[in-house]
């Protein structure tokens, strides 16, 4: 049984429609914070205790900057949204932010990896590369998000809670239509069995109580099994599991004898890099990726050595 405080945190998270993954992450860090301070109630603590915990993560646990930021986001949510207290952590030692360039595959490597994938794994990985999608954006795609006439995909409420439109490669239209037909047959079977209601975001099920069973709201890549929705306790068919695609891509990279640390997200990096390589305007690429700041997109110019480090080695001038 969760403590009253953690239940309050859970309720505040669900009111804001955060993902289940975020909910688990925030609760994990809040529990660690409480244990670190010998089970003291967070309401009796404040900025100093938060700073000590975050510094502990950086110095003693040697966590990455992203992990420390994750912990800070959880505690910031706890104090601001649940306990209604402000935080000041100016004296916190922050974990060092790595300056890593993204891993990018060549066109030949992308083709090779895709050739090792089959079925939905191939189709989803092709969308990651062909449309620059994030992994979760891909598995959460719904029927209504695809426009075959305009050859576009609309990504709904992605990172930053913004919509964006990305291209649908012509080569994927036929296999995507075939997948939709398979999903439609599965949906009809679910309706016949008394199911077929999909999860509706942002409490739309209350506004449109019948929409959850409509074809347009169904996932393009449905799970192979029905499961219990942890929010509503209803038995539903969720979307395809992201871990399945992650494992398949890792295996395909290994079978391709590629020794780069490539993952699903590498397809998105490769999409951006190859567009810039072909002369696509950086602002257009920024919009397609959904980046808030163009500086985030500009990192791909360094991958192509089109930034300030585009130098020719003196070795090239030697009469070898």
CATH architecture of 107-297: Orthogonal Bundle (1.10)
Topology (CATH level 3) of domain 4-82? DNA polymerase; domain 1 (1.10.150)
Selected catalytic residue, list 265, 274, 278, 295: 265
Q: Which residues of 25-48 are buried (b: 16+ CB within 10 A; e: fewer)?
A: bbbebbebbbeebeeeebeebebe
The pLDDT tens digits along the chain (320 residues) read 468 999 999 999 988 878 888 999 999 999 999 999 999 999 999 999 999 999 999 899 988 888 999 999 999 999 999 999 988 877 777 777 667 789 999 999 999 999 999 999 999 999 999 999 999 999 999 999 999 999 999 998 777 678 999 999 999 999 999 999 999 999 999 999 999 999 887 667 677 778 889 999 999 999 999 999 887 788 999 999 999 999 999 999 999 999 999 999 999 999 999 999 999 999 999 999 999 899 889 888 877 765 455 566 676 678 76
pLDDT at 137: 95
Residue boundaries of the structural domains of the chain:
4-82, 107-297
Catalytic site includes residue 300: yes
Q: Which residues of 133-165 are buried (b: 16+ CB within 10 A; e: fewer)?
A: bbbebbbbbbbebbeeeeeebebeeeeeeeebe
Q: Find all residues with CB under 8 Å of 166, minimum gap 6, and list them.
A: 131, 132, 133, 152, 153, 155, 288
Q: Find all residues with CB under 8 Å of 200, minimum gap 6, and list them.
A: 208, 211, 212, 217
Catalytic site includes residue 265: yes
Angle between helical axes of 107-115 and 242-255 (0-180°, round to 10): 110
Query: Distance between CA 301 and CA 314 in Å, rounded?
Result: 22
Q: Find all residues with CB under 8 Å of 55, minimum gap 6, and list them.
A: 92, 93
Catalytic site includes residue 202: no
Catalytic site includes residue 18: no
Selected catalytic residue, list 140, 164, 187, 268: 268
pLDDT at 18: 84
| Nearest to 203, CA basis, from 20, 16, 53, 51 | 16
Catalytic site includes residue 134: yes
- Local structure of 65: helix, strand or coil: helix
Instruction: Count CB-CB contacts under 10 A for residue 120.
Output: 20
Selected catalytic residue, list 121, 134, 140, 187: 134
Selected catalytic residue, list 31, 159, 234, 306: 159
Count of all residues that appear for the chain in the document: 320
Selected catalytic residue, list 26, 33, 219, 300: 300
């Amino acid at each position: 049984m969760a403590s009253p405080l953690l239940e309050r945190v859970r309720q505040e998270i669900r009111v804001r429609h955060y993902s289940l993954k975020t909910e688990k992450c925030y609760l994990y860090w809040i529990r660690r914070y409480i244990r670190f301070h010998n089970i003291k109630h967070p309401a009796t603590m404040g900025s100093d205790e938060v700073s000590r915990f975050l510094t502990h993560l950086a110095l003693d646990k040697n966590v990455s900057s992203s992990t420390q930021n994750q912990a800070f986001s959880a505690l910031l949510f706890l104090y601001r949204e649940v306990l209604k207290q402000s935080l000041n952590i100016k004296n916190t030692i922050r974990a060092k932010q790595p300056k890593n360039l993204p891993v990018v595959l060549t066109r030949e490597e992308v083709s090779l990896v895709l050739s090792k994938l089959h079925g939905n794994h191939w189709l989803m990985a092709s969308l990651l590369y062909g449309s620059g999608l994030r992994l979760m954006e891909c598995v959460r795609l719904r029927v209504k998000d695809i426009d075959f006439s305009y050859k576009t995909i609309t990504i709904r409420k992605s990172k930053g809670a913004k919509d964006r439109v990305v291209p649908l490669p012509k080569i994927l239209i036929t296999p995507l239509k075939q997948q939709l037909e398979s999903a439609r047959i599965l949906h009809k079977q679910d309706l016949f069995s008394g199911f077929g209601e999909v999860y509706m975001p942002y409490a739309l099920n209350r506004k449109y109580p019948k929409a959850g069973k409509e074809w347009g709201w169904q996932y393009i890549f449905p799970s192979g099994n029905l499961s219990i929705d942890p929010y509503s306790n209803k038995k539903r068919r969720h979307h395809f599991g992201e871990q399945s695609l992650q494992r398949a891509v890792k295996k395909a990279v290994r079978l391709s004898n590629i020794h780069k640390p490539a993952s699903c997200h590498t397809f998105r990096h490769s999409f951006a890099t190859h567009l810039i390589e072909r002369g696509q305007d950086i602002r257009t690429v920024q919009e397609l990726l959904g980046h808030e700041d163009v500086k985030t997109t500009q990192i791909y110019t360094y991958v192509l050595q089109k930034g300030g480090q585009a130098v020719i080695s003196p070795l090239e001038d030697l009469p070898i």
